[in-house]
Amino acid sequence: MKICVIGLGYIGLPTAAMFARAGMDVLGVDRNTLIVDELNKGRTLIEENGLSEWIPGVVSSGKLTASTTPGCADAFIIAVPTPITDQKHADMSFVEAATRSIVPLLKLGDIVVLESTSPVGTVENLLKPILEESGLSAGTDFSLGYSPERVIPGNILQELVTNDRIAGGIDAASAKKIAALYRTFVRGDIYETDAKTAELCKLAENTYRDVNIAFANELAKISERQGVDVWELIALCNKHPRVNIHKPGPGVGGHCIAVDPWFIAENNPHESQMIRLARHINDDMPSHVASIVSYIVDNIEHPAEEEHPAGVTYPKGVGKPAVAVLGVTYKPNVDDIRESPVLTLIDLLEKRGMYVRWFDPHVKSLPDNESGIAEAAKGSDVLVLGVDHDAFRDLDYKRLAQTMRHRNILDTRNFLDIPAATHEGFRVYTLGKGNDL
């Protein structure tokens, strides 16, 4: 069976590799020539566990080849980005372009599956009319539907195989054929449904998480006022067999949990009150964290004349607060900075007149990245943990105490070894811990 996977990103490339390992002849398509050229050399630009070990084998066996243009296939998988605009609307231009590129290739009996997270009705109202310009009719002449991924970056290859999956079809026959296609590598159960239910299912799953995280963030703010440790609170709540409160944090990033709820709210503005409020609560967390940093620096007794880390000596008593931020990706141990709440936090701190430097070992693409933890922390008044990367698990607090101007730490993830830090003279504040704030 020949499969054409359009979009070789976090989902498309692992999915293409899965079909190739299942013995299919796979053509991976991406408009980015660098991705295509690297893939044809058996290399990937994506940092994902296990992927760089998988790719050389399926490429050298000839099971996976890459091109910038699609070719004839028995099944077409569309896994291109569906970004969100500043007006919080879904940008479907990549999906539309990918769909149009299939039209001249479509033949009787083919399967077309959309995987990209999309507003409800995309398959029926966007893909179907474009594909039927081929003269073929969806359902009768070719199968059409929607089958979303639900994998977590960092564990994609494992979860693509083991997670249950939804196969939504424009008609029941399409759902059945799509389910059979994915059963070539999916070991989880595959549930057949209609395309609109599958589209809303994907959005609802991630919206459940965003609303749940908003609840956790609100509990964090309440705990700070009530003198409670929200981390202990949530751990105790979750001992209840039917309670699963998520974790607070400095905000919600990524191109899924932070985005998908808007795809529901966009078309259902009046019915999505809680969904939109949850988005605003999560999007307000960087500002809440910035106010905690201000609280910390406002309580520092700055000696009068002191050398500022930037080599600038400020007038008596007007030392500009210096903040070091560790981690800027949207979640731990990934290189993805999309919708990162920590980048928003850095911007807010600078707007509050603070001098901010940051370091993230996973980010290679941004010029402001310091060369290491000590370089970012040099001369700073507060060290903020933005992301709980494994690389930050055992910080050298003795060295940090020597390089920082004042010994304050703000942990936004309840991640750091507080006794080790306090042993070196640090004052540690944790988001959501009422007794710290």
Neighbours of 198 (CB within 10 A): 25
Cβ contacts of residue 310 below 8 Å, gap of 6+?
A: 322, 355, 379
Nearer to ligand SAJ, 171 or 205 (CB): 205
| 205 near ligand SAJ, judged by CB under 6 A | yes
Q: What is the layout of strands, in order, in the sheet containing 322-326?
A: 355-359, 322-326, 382-385, 408-411, 427-430
CB of 253 to ligand SAJ, least distance (A): 4
Q: Which of 5, 6, 8, 11 binds ligand SAJ (CB under 6 A)?
A: 11
Nearer to ligand SAJ, 48 or 381 (CB): 48
Question: Which range of residues in 248-256, 267-275, 315-323, 366-374 is near ligand SAJ by CB under 6 A?
Answer: 248-256
Nearer to ligand SAJ, 64 or 157 (CB): 157
Q: How many residues bind to ligand SAJ according to rule CB under 6 A?
A: 21
CB of 10 to ligand SAJ, least distance (A): 5
Nearer to ligand SAJ, 255 or 407 (CB): 255
| 88 near ligand SAJ, judged by CB under 6 A | no
Per-residue H/E/C for the chain = CEEEEECCCCCHHHHHHHHHHCCCEEEEECCCHHHHHHHHCCCCCCCCCCHHHHHHHHHHCCCEEEECCCCCCCEEEECCCCCECCCCCECCHHHHHHHHHHHHHCCCCCEEEECCCCCCCHHHHHHHHHHHHHCCCECCCEEEEECCCCCCCCCHHHHHHHCCEEEEECCHHHHHHHHHHHCCCCCCCEEEEEHHHHHHHHHHHHHHHHHHHHHHHHHHHHHHHHCCEHHHHHHHHCCCCCCCCCCCCCCCCCCCCCCHHHHHHCCCCCCCHHHHHHHHHHHCHHHHHHHHHHHHHHCCCCCCCCECCCCCECCCCCCCCEEEEECCCCCCCCCCCCCCHHHHHHHHHHHCCCEEEEECCCCCCCCCECCCHHHHHCCCCEEEECCCCHHHCCCCHHHHHHHCCCCEEEECCCCCCHHHHHHCCCEEEECCEHHHC
Question: Which range of residues in 58-66, 71-79, 146-154, 346-354 is near ligand SAJ by CB under 6 A?
Answer: 146-154
Nearer to ligand SAJ, 205 or 424 (CB): 205
Q: Which of 73, 203, 256, 296 binds ligand SAJ (CB under 6 A)?
A: 256
Nearer to ligand SAJ, 9 or 379 (CB): 9
| 362 near ligand SAJ, judged by CB under 6 A | no
Q: Tell me the C-alpha distance between 300 and 306, whole Å.
A: 13
**Helices 33-40/51-60 angle, 10° precision:** 70
Nearer to ligand SAJ, 169 or 249 (CB): 249
Question: Which range of residues in 136-144, 206-214, 363-371, 423-431 is near ligand SAJ by CB under 6 A?
Answer: 206-214
Neighbours of 22 (CB within 10 A): 17
Question: Which range of residues in 95-103, 144-152, 218-226, 267-275 is near ligand SAJ by CB under 6 A?
Answer: 144-152
Nearer to ligand SAJ, 314 or 415 (CB): 415
CB of 208 to ligand SAJ, least distance (A): 10
| 16 near ligand SAJ, judged by CB under 6 A | no
| 254 near ligand SAJ, judged by CB under 6 A | yes
CB of 355 to ligand SAJ, least distance (A): 25
| 7 near ligand SAJ, judged by CB under 6 A | no
| 152 near ligand SAJ, judged by CB under 6 A | yes
Catalytic residue positions, numbered? 202, 256
Q: Which of 165, 177, 331, 362 binds ligand SAJ (CB under 6 A)?
A: 331
Q: Tell me the C-alpha distance between 130 and 42, whole Å.
A: 34
CB of 254 to ligand SAJ, least distance (A): 3
Residue nearest to ligand SAJ according to CB distances in the complex: 254
CB of 63 to ligand SAJ, least distance (A): 23
| 213 near ligand SAJ, judged by CB under 6 A | yes
CB of 21 to ligand SAJ, least distance (A): 19
CB of 115 to ligand SAJ, least distance (A): 10
Question: Which range of residues in 74-82, 202-210, 352-360, 397-405 is near ligand SAJ by CB under 6 A?
Answer: 202-210
Strand partners, 145: 113, 169
Which residues in this chain contact ligand SAJ in the complex, by CB under 6 A?
10-11, 149-153, 205-206, 209, 213, 246-247, 249, 252-254, 256-257, 330-331
